[in-house]
Amino acid sequence: MNLPLFHRPGTIVFLDDDPDYLEMLAMVLPRQWHVKLFLRPTECIHYLAQEPPFWEADAWNQQQLVEQWRGGKALIPQILGYWSKYSERFALTRVCVVDFSMPGMDGLQVLSELVDWPGSRVLLTGQADEQVAVRAFNRGLIDQFIPKQLPDISRRLVEAVDHLLSTAHARHGQIWRATLNPEQNALLRQASVARDLAAYAAKRWVEHVVIGAPFGMLGMDAAGNVSWLQLETREALKTLAELAEMEGVPPAGLADIREGRQLANLELRQALAMTEPCELLPAFPVGEGGPLLGTLFPVPSAYSPDAENSYSRWLARQERRQVQH
């Protein structure tokens, strides 16, 4: 699997001409999802067609962070500032699920209207529509299709959307890959490293960014708690220990760093201009054979975005789920 270098929650849109089906979805879909339910194709099209300029603005904002990093500005505080400022980033729709069989305009006709909308597309089909869906998938018009008559349709739907939500947005991934050097890029492309880091991120955060300078993952959980997963190669441990010695870390701690038992948060402290003493925490291997070592350091609340901008707080401010008639 590929590790998403950039990940965050987003809105999921459902379009179906059956109000009872939409009401059922409102009850069974995961509560941590922000869901919009549409009964009429024209309203769904209008809702999604207004999003591309906001997607463009969001990508431009992220690109600016990387450009400023190239000019010498640290990435970690810039990302924290981005999370603080742009709380409506969660409103952008990541996945649209459309029923194929609808009167007046079928699901593929709806999706064909969304030329510039960059999200993932799922088609719900009846038995008679399967070949249509296969052709649409092969032509790249949809990302997945799901037979609506399946007995476990709700579970299959949740699994499909979850998979698409975990897939990196291609443009955003390209923006952040520019911060990686060739060695880091090669390490993250190793299947076992990507698998371990993706699983680690999924358990702890709803949003993360992978960067190369310093090397690691900055993540935020639903409540707004931020942490830094520092990544080091074993070849870099000697240099890290030398820097830690300059910070006054005692000999026992230096030995732990050299042996890969602990890492020091030196780069995080430097990026955030932290005045707190250097912190050492246990390290763990990442990937088969441990080509990388990782240590999770909490980012103090004084340096983190306001909790009001967390995903949970944003979600609580949204309208309750209801079918848009």
Is the same domain home to 27 and 157?
A: yes
Burial annotation 121-156 (CB, 10 A radius, 16+ → b, else e) = bbbbbeeebeebbeebeeeeebbbbbebeeeebeee
Determine the structural domain holding residue 288 and report its residue range.
Answer: 172-308
Amino acid at 240: L
The enclosing domain of 64 has a CATH number of: 3.40.50.2300
Is the same domain home to 50 and 163?
A: yes
Decide if 317 is inside a domain: no
Q: Which two tokens stand for residue 115?
A: 């030329």
Is the same domain home to 221 and 277?
A: yes
Is the same domain home to 105 and 235?
A: no
pLDDT at position 148: 84
Amino acid at 289: G
Q: Which secondary structure element, helix H or strand E, spans residue 230, and what is its range?
A: strand 226-233
**How many CB atoms are located within 10 Å of the residue 310 CB?**
24
* Boundary (domain end) residue, out of 171, 195, 217: 171
Is the same domain home to 179 and 167?
A: no
Is the same domain home to 17 and 134?
A: yes
Q: What is the value of pTM for the model shown? A: 0.93
Q: Which residues pair with 282 in a beta bridge?
A: 262
pLDDT at position 273: 94
Is the same domain home to 191 and 278?
A: yes
Burial annotation 250-282 (CB, 10 A radius, 16+ → b, else e) = eeebbebbbebebbbbbbbbebbebeeebbbee
pLDDT at position 28: 92
Decide if 320 is inside a domain: no
Domain count, the chain: 2
Q: What is the pLDDT along the chain (325 residues), one digit of tens a residue?
A: 578 999 999 999 999 999 999 999 999 999 999 999 999 999 999 999 999 999 999 999 999 999 999 999 999 999 999 999 998 999 999 999 999 988 888 899 999 999 899 999 999 987 667 788 888 888 888 899 888 888 888 899 999 999 999 886 778 889 999 999 999 999 999 999 999 999 999 999 999 999 999 999 999 999 999 999 999 999 999 999 999 999 999 999 999 999 999 999 999 999 999 998 899 999 999 999 999 999 999 999 999 999 888 999 999 999 999 988 7
Decide if 321 is inside a domain: no
- DSSP β-ladder status, 11-15 and 34-38: parallel
pLDDT at position 122: 94
Is the same domain home to 302 and 178?
A: yes
pLDDT at position 168: 66
Is the same domain home to 90 and 189?
A: no
Decide if 285 is inside a domain: yes
